[in-house]
Structure 1
Amino acid sequence: MSLPPSAPLPPARWWQSLILAIQFLTRLPTPQLRSFHPEWLAASARWFAPVGLLLGSLLWLAVWLGAQYDPWLAALLGLLLWIGITGGLHLDGLADLTDAMGAAHRSRERFFEVLKDPHVGSFGVIALICAIVSKLVLLMLLARQPRLLAGLLLLPAWARLFALYWSATLPALAPGSGERFAWQPQWRVQVVSLLALLALSAWLAPALLLAPLAGLLWRGWLKRKLGGMTGDCLGAGIEVCEILLLGLLLIPLPGIGWH
């Protein structure tokens, strides 16, 4: 397992780390950086929640526009944008983790062997179908309730903040992006982002005040099943938590009920 560099490197400027965060989490066009150090990826994690808000804004816009015609169209537009703008990055992690868990048969060596395999097996295909169908149906149900759509602005930010929390509190099981994020836990950033998202949730989508429970549940599952995390575990967790939070938005609350 690689370690943080012992020799000091030039720190990434705020705009460099922002560009790296956008490049890592999305397929949005960005300026090209003239230089890059892998260690800068850890510094870019401070922008995970803000980039999540950017994703949420685009997701909300796609669903809102589609909802002017039909809820199913809204769900389809939202899903296609969601997958397209992230490049299926986290879905890939979900498929890899599911394949590894299904084929490991309690063998740690087999787990990592399958996790590194670029091919998608039957377990991964089933997980992908379930995740995509779940998001499509839940987005359709949200599109039928325009007052609930504001939660889409915050949902990707919550899930990406969770990834930063998981990487900082679980041991890395293998070298990779998940391990690099753990080099700089960004605790101050995590606390500020958490408070900001709680405040925005209280204003826009009170149901998401329960969002941290989803992050804690996934961390507990990783701790119990694997004893740590990898980059694929973080990606899979983002997908699972996004689905959980979509369902959470549909829970009727006083003043935000079904009509």
Structure 2
Amino acid sequence: MKGLILAIQFLTRLPMPRVTANDTDFAASMRWFPAAGLAVGLFVSGAAWLGAHIDPWTGALAGLAMWTLITGGLHLDGLADLADAGGAAHKDRERLLAVLADPHVGSFGVVAIALQIVAKLILLHGMVMAGLFPALILIPFAARIGPLVWTLWLPPLHAGLAARFRDAIRPVHIALWGAILIAGAWVSPALLLAFLMIPIWAWHVRRRLGGISGDGHGAGIELMETGLLAAILAANAY
């Protein structure tokens, strides 16, 4: 239970009881990231459902506002950092890594955040119009299985957050959450595309960066969420 509390504290702004934890406890909390994603999904879907009683756009805006509020924009920071680093990639890998380590947000990062927010708003509108609230609950859950896989498969880019989690993840943890996702895919089979998106992102960051970092995890989560929103909407249209 300590691991679940720590995971929710780290990934969300939800009020949780205070627990005493060391670095080992914190690293082990990564096993519970998908459960924290499920909490995010419940709040996002609930807000969108309530807003939809006014009109679909209000539902979409309520869902997006809740998504940003409950996560504190944590993963958007990683998306912005990778976008800025990618903009510097035409020079050399050393420049890319230097930009990635810079805490300031550049023009590429601002554009990436804006596009991500607009994309989620439009896709959420489609989800609300189609009444796909149960599937919406599972999207943040599915996206947060990714960090477990990336941590296990990819070398840490530096001695940071991703490196601390590496020793805490075992294949059995991924298998258990994967089985739950398969069982939940009866809501929308398109959720199973998460099993394709996860290795694609792993391949991309390995090729471009050489390993995984906290920014890589955050950007991957954001892009998986948007990708799953689009995939579920597309599947529902046919």
Does the pair score TM above 0.5? yes
Single out whichever of 135-144 and 217-226 deviates more from structure 2: 217-226
* Structure-to-structure mapping, 1:193-204, within 5 angstroms: 193-201=177-185, 203-204=186-187
* Structure-to-structure mapping, 1:170-189, within 5 angstroms: 170-189=154-173
* Structure-to-structure mapping, 1:1-259, within 5 angstroms: 15-33=1-19, 35-146=20-131, 148-201=132-185, 203-252=186-235, 256-257=236-237
Single out whichever of 127-136 and 50-59 deviates more from structure 2: 50-59
Query: What is the TM-score with the length of structure 1 in the denominator?
Result: 0.88
Tell me how far 1:38 sits from its aligned partner.
2.1
Residue aligned with 1:194, SS? helix
Query: What is the TM-score with the length of structure 2 in the denominator?
Result: 0.95
Tell me how far 1:185 sits from its aligned partner.
1.9
Tell me how far 1:236 sits from its aligned partner.
0.4
User: Deviating runs (4+, > 3 A) in structure 1?
Assistant: none
| d(CA) in 2 for partners of 1:225, 1:84 | 31
Q: Residues 6-31 of structure 1: CA distance to partner in whole angstroms, max 9, x if unpaired?
A: xxxxxxxxx22111101111011111
Tell me how far 1:127 sits from its aligned partner.
0.3
Please identify the structure whose Cα radius of gyration is greater.
1
- Percent sequence identity is 48
Tell me how far 1:49 sits from its aligned partner.
1.1
Single out whichever of 233-242 and 210-219 deviates more from structure 2: 210-219
| d(CA) in 1 for partners of 2:45, 2:29 | 24
Q: Is contact 2:4–2:35 with CA below 8 Å preserved after alignment?
A: no
Single out whichever of 192-201 and 40-49 deviates more from structure 2: 40-49
| d(CA) in 1 for partners of 2:93, 2:23 | 27
RMSD: 1.4
Greater helix proportion:
2
User: 1:12 is matched with which residue?
Assistant: none
Q: Is contact 2:48–2:128 with CA below 8 Å preserved after alignment?
A: yes
**1:172 alignment partner AA:** P
Tell me how far 1:113 sits from its aligned partner.
1.9
| d(CA) in 2 for partners of 1:16, 1:112 | 34
Unpaired runs of 5+ residues, structure 2, are none
| d(CA) in 2 for partners of 1:232, 1:210 | 22
Tell me how far 1:111 sits from its aligned partner.
2.0
Give the length in aligned residue pairs: 238
Q: Is contact 2:127–2:136 with CA below 8 Å preserved after alignment?
A: no
Q: Residues 201-221 of structure 1: CA distance to partner in whole angstroms, max 9, x if unpaired?
A: 1x2112212221111211121
Tell me how far 1:109 sits from its aligned partner.
2.4
**1:196 alignment partner AA:** I
Q: Is contact 1:179–1:231 with CA below 8 Å preserved after alignment?
A: no
Unpaired runs of 5+ residues, structure 1, are 1-14
Q: Is contact 1:104–1:114 with CA below 8 Å preserved after alignment?
A: no
Tell me how far 1:106 sits from its aligned partner.
4.1
Residue aligned with 1:224, SS? helix
